[in-house]
């Protein structure tokens, strides 16, 4: 199990990381970095969680290095708690058979 780079007991701010990266190796580095900082996968190309300011800056540097010269986009959005509380999530259930 990888060691988390941020203490999960530190509250931090809600963060949403969205990415569209075509290169498989680069995309794997982005996913690994998000997981290393304790972010959870929300959707195939989106991770969410809470990060302190210092952890966010570290993650930004790591994602910038992971991206390198590859084409694509990574967006790191800091959210406010009210935005999460006010969000509408519509979840579809997979059908069996």
Burial class (CB in 10 A: 0-12, 13-18, 19+), 39: buried
Residue 89 CB partners (closer than 8 Å, separation 6+): none
Q: Does 20 show up as a binding residue in the annotation?
A: yes
How far out from the chain centre does Cα 69 lie?
20
Distance CA 83, CA 97 (A): 37
Binding residues: 20
Residue list for the binding site for Mg(2+): 20
């Amino acid at each position: 199990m990888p060691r988390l780079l941020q203490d999960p007991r530190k509250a931090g701010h809600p963060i949403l990381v969205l990415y569209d990266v075509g290169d498989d190796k680069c995309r794997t580095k982005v996913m690994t970095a998000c997981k290393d900082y304790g972010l959870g996968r929300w959707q195939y190309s989106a991770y969410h969680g809470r990060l302190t300011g210092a952890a966010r800056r570290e993650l930004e540097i790591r994602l910038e290095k992971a991206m390198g010269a590859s084409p694509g986009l990574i967006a790191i959005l800091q959210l406010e708690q009210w935005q999460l509380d006010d969000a509408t999530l519509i979840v579809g259930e997979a059908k069996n058979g």
